[in-house]
Structure formats: C-alpha cells, structure tokens
C-alpha cells in the first residue's frame, strides 16, 4: 500500500479568505498523507466510511462541551479567578496597536484537541469526555464543535491543524478525500459562525517511516516517486 497523496489547495480555498493563512514552512508543496491515522485513540479499523455517503446526513449538535465556563476575560493581576487573564488585556493599546494585534494567538488542534498528555511512562491523563473511543467521521465532527467552543471561550483568533488531526483516513484516496472534504465544510461553518480563522494547515508526515527521521528532506527531488509531493490532487 502506497502513502496517500493529498492536496491542500481545496482546503485552502474553502477555509481561507484572509492573507494570514499559510502552510507550515516546507509543507505547502508536500501534501503527503500518512499511512496511519494521526490519533492517540484506538481506531475502529483502518477503513472509515462516511455515515451515509454525504455530509448532509451528519448530526448537528448544540451541546455545550465546557458547561459553566464563560468567555475568559481580563481581570487584572489582583484577580483570584483561575479562569481569567491576569496580564493579557486584548484591548490594551501599546505603541499604537492593541495587544490583540500584537499577540495573534493560535490554538493547535493536535495538542489541544487530539493530544492525550501521554508519555513513555504511562497512558494519557487528559480528560476528553466527548471522545467515544473511535476515529469515525462523526467523532471528527464532534471534535470540531469542541475545538471552536474552546476557541470562542478562550478568545483565540486563530487555529492550526494537520489533515489527519481533523479528518480520519479512509480505505483509499477517494474515501480519505471525501472525509476531509466533509470535515472542511464543518470547519468552514464554524469559522463563519465564530470569526475564528485558520492560521495554517499542513499534512501529517510523521507517521511515514521513510520521512520520520529526515523531515527536512521532504521537499527534495531525490525522494522516490511514491513519496514525491504533488501540488494537486491526483485524478480519482
């Protein structure tokens, strides 16, 4: 089985309308997908199918994933509130520019939403009550809702992701692309709803053994044809 090639051009067109969007250095011409799902959770098999073949059939939810927590605000250094900014005041103007514009924070999807806080000494300690133990498309949509609620309440203006962070890999290229396209629609809807923008998106190359120890060589022309990056999606 060869590594699956994915293009980010379609994702870029759908998610980004602002100049802030970019790919990670060296990755904009390297949409090579990993062989395994970039997930610390057990997968329900390597073949992930669309629920009924269409995005429209996916369930929508208004569930609050962080109940009882309002938007984090600035309360000053004397505040005893653990869920308040003590020093960062987004509206404070310094040298003619607000702190919001000076410090353009981005929340990374792989650490904040997918990471389980595990290491070589034990299992993950992160509490993720919305996880159902699968890497299904429905679970991926739920994670998007979780992520954007978190972004809204934190007040972060940007987020970033790898392709496999947000959408599961399918049985083949066609299904993998459908999965990604379906989740991109959910991401775009949440961006429109919240005003949060995508800072950058990239491909997860870390699970490909041939690239794991030499990521800086990904863009070189010496790679084998099966690993050589493509700027566009292959025909289906």
From first to last of its 236 residues, the chain has per-residue pLDDT tens of 344 444 445 555 556 543 333 333 333 333 333 323 333 333 222 223 333 333 333 344 568 999 999 999 999 999 999 999 999 999 999 999 999 999 999 999 999 999 889 889 988 899 899 999 999 999 999 999 999 999 999 999 999 999 989 999 899 889 999 999 999 999 999 999 999 999 988 888 776 666 666 555 555 545 444 444 444 555 44
Per the annotation, the verdict on 132 as an active-site residue is no
Residue 101 confidence (pLDDT): 92
Annotated active-site residue in 38, 162, 163, 172: 162
Residue 5 confidence (pLDDT): 41
The CA-CA-CA angle for residues 196, 198, 203, to 5°, reads 150
* CATH of 9-217 given 3.30.1520.10, 3.40.50.300, 3.40.50.880, 3.20.20.150: 3.20.20.150
> How many CB atoms are closer than 10 A to CB 49?
16
Per the annotation, the verdict on 87 as an active-site residue is no
Residue 107 to residue 88: CA distance in whole angstroms: 16
What SS3 state is found at 7? coil
Residue 114 confidence (pLDDT): 92
Residue 134 to residue 190: CA distance in whole angstroms: 22
CA distances 228 to 29, 106, 173, 221, Å, are: 10, 30, 16, 7
Annotated active-site residue in 165, 172, 181, 192: 165
What kind and span of H or E run contains 32? none
Backbone angles phi, psi at 137, to 5 degrees: -65, -40
Residue 1 confidence (pLDDT): 39
Report which DSSP code applies to 120.
T
């Amino acid at each position: 089985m060869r590594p699956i090639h994915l293009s980010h051009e379609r994702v870029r067109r759908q998610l980004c309308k602002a100049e802030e969007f970019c790919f990670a250095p060296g990755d904009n011409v390297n949409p090579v997908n990993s062989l395994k799902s970039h997930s610390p959770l057990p997968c329900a098999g390597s073949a992930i199918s669309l629920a009924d073949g269409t995005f429209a059939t996916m369930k929508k939810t208004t569930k609050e994933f962080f109940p009882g927590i309002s938007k984090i605000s600035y309360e000053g250094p004397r505040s005893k509130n653990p869920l308040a900014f003590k020093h960062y005041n987004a509206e404070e103007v310094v040298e003619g520019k607000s702190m919001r514009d000076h410090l353009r924070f981005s929340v990374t999807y792989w650490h904040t939403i997918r990471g389980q806080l595990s290491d070589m000494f034990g299992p993950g300690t992160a509490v993720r009550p919305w996880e159902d133990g699968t890497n299904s498309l429905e679970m991926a949509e739920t994670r998007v809702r979780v992520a954007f609620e978190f972004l809204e309440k934190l007040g972060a203006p940007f987020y970033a992701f790898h392709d496999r962070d947000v959408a599961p890999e399918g049985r083949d290229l066609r299904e993998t692309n459908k999965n990604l396209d379906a989740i991109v629609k959910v991401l775009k809807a949440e961006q429109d709803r919240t005003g949060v923008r995508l800072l950058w998106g990239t491909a997860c190359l870390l699970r490909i053994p041939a690239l794991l120890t030499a990521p800086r060589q990904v863009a070189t022309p010496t790679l084998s044809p099966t690993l050589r990056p493509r700027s566009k999606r292959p025909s289906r």
